[in-house]
A and B are shown apart, each in its own frame.
Chain A
Amino acid sequence: MGVGIQVENLNAWYGTTQALHDIRLTMEANHATALIGPSGCGKSTFIRCLNRMHETTPGARVEGNVKIGQLDAYDGISPTLLRRRIGMVFQKPNPFPTMSIYDNVAAGLKLNGFNNRKEMDQIVERSLSSSALWEEVKDSIHKKSGASLSGGQQQRLCIARALAVEPEVLLMDEPCSALDPISTGKIEELIFQLKTQYTIVIVTHNMQQAARVAEYTGFFLLGRMVEFDKTEKIFTNPSDKRTEDYITGRFG
């Protein structure tokens, strides 16, 4: 089951440059929230603050309050443990090339000390089924390496890998940017089904995708959140002129 996410007064820096200003946002459990905005507006930085990946960049700093369910992300839990509760899928599919499909999916478990072979088999099958990849690869999960799949399959593999550790939240940073329309369609279908079990936050450049997939949409601009509302409101009648300008392509 997914949990809600609450963000208050979030500020983030890269060295001396401030990337996020006073972000305040609530994302509902078991819903998909899309974050849109022009390049460099801070939406990727924002989701990386949710699972404390922002800190892995040298010189990066975060201040503010992020609550994942009941858990305070920045107080009382180590980043590593936090990230085990939050799954992340990146823009360019990044399966581990030296590992088999099976090992890729199980990586999150194996590398964190999980050992039970039988349970692992079940978890791997379940995760691959959840990401609509099982039927395509079930005969070669031990033989083929993660990198030998097509782009769309690789991304689904990464999704399965993220799901295997049973996170409560799934963060997706432009997951379909590098994929063709058919693979994109499959993954959007997937997101639709995953919503019932996880809370999904998806960053996307593609407004039509946000419109198709998410119940809520937030518009980011220059490190601030300009508007956050139900997706249909944002795309049919946004309240802020900046949002309207971006959506109708009259930006810049």
Chain B
Amino acid sequence: MRTRFQQGLDELREKLLRMGGLAEQAVERACRGYLDRDLARCQMVLEGETLINICEREIDELAFDLLAMQQPMAGDLRFILAVTKINADLERVGDQAVNIAERVMDMVSLPAVDLPVDIARMSAAVSAMVRRSLESFIDAKAELAQAVLEMDNVVDRMRDEAFIVLVKTMNEHPEHTRQALDALLVARNLERVADHATNIAEDVIFWVRGADVRHNVPQVGEGQGSSGETRSTAADPH
């Protein structure tokens, strides 16, 4: 039934997952670049940005086409809308990875300083959020997405702590101000990536459950359908 439409939906899914992979990779590379002070990696991030932008355009075009020509309804419609939103978020994630890479390039020209802020832990958490949000999309599992929403608070707290700690550092050691600022900005970029991962998770929940959980405190079991059920038929991996 509707093979061409189904093929279009599958293609859309493929493209989005590919883009997700690129964005995830960009974040990982940028963070590794920061932790290892690796300029080469940062360069790769900057170069990868073009590909991410191309992907974004392709996905939007395909989604637009499907909307105009195939009159999608219900689950299919929610899927396509969710994809366009996730698309935008992933592109933003790519942008944030570039920002981090640029910070690193500035930081590497300065002497290394041991700062009391655990960027490694933060970057691990954020990468996990991105990965999990994409997994929830692949598997169409709302609970996974729900878990991502909960992790956002953790990352926010990390960012706030980093702020306090780094401000203290700048006060006590003004000669390390630049490095501290770089670290602070990286922390902020990471927190934005976490926000985008949260958006992606919300979009997945919208698609899977038909419930709009944005700007709310999400509760487990909210929306129609029992939790643990995967009802969406579009691009169903099973």
Interface residues of A (CB under 8 A from B): 207-208, 234-239, 241, 243-245, 247-252
Interface residues of B (CB under 8 A from A): 1-2, 5, 71-78, 210, 224, 231, 233-234
By a CB distance below 8 angstroms, the chain A residues around B210 are 236-237
Interface of B is mostly: loop
Known contacts A239-B224, A250-B233, A251-B1; 5 additional CB pairs below 8 A are A208-B71, A235-B74, A236-B78, A243-B74, A250-B1
**B74–A250 contact, CB under 8 A?**
no
Known contacts A237-B210, A237-B224, A239-B224; A247 and B74 CB within 8 A of each other: yes
Contact partner, A252, options B1, B75, B78, Cβ 8 Å: B1
By a CB distance below 8 angstroms, the chain B residues around A241 are 231, 233
CB-nearest residue of chain B to A238:
B74
By a CB distance below 8 angstroms, the chain B residues around A250 are 1-2, 233
**B2–A249 contact, CB under 8 A?**
yes
**A237–B74 contact, CB under 8 A?**
yes
Contact partner, B233, options A235, A237, A244, Cβ 8 Å: A244
Kindly name the residue among A241, A248, A251 whose own CB sees the greatest number of chain B CB atoms within 10 A.
A248
Kindly name the residue among A207, A239, A250 whose own CB sees the greatest number of chain B CB atoms within 10 A.
A250
Task: Give CA–CA (A187, B233) in the complex, Å.
Answer: 34
By a CB distance below 8 angstroms, the chain B residues around A247 are 73-74
Contact partner, B77, options A236, A243, A252, Cβ 8 Å: A236
Task: Give CA–CA (A248, B231) in the complex, Å.
Answer: 13
**B224–A244 contact, CB under 8 A?**
no
**A244–B74 contact, CB under 8 A?**
yes
**B74–A249 contact, CB under 8 A?**
no
CB-nearest residue of chain B to A245:
B233
By a CB distance below 8 angstroms, the chain A residues around B78 are 236-237
By a CB distance below 8 angstroms, the chain B residues around A245 are 233
By a CB distance below 8 angstroms, the chain A residues around B224 are 237, 239
Min C-beta distance of B3 to chain A, whole Å: 11
Min C-beta distance of A120 to chain B, whole Å: 45
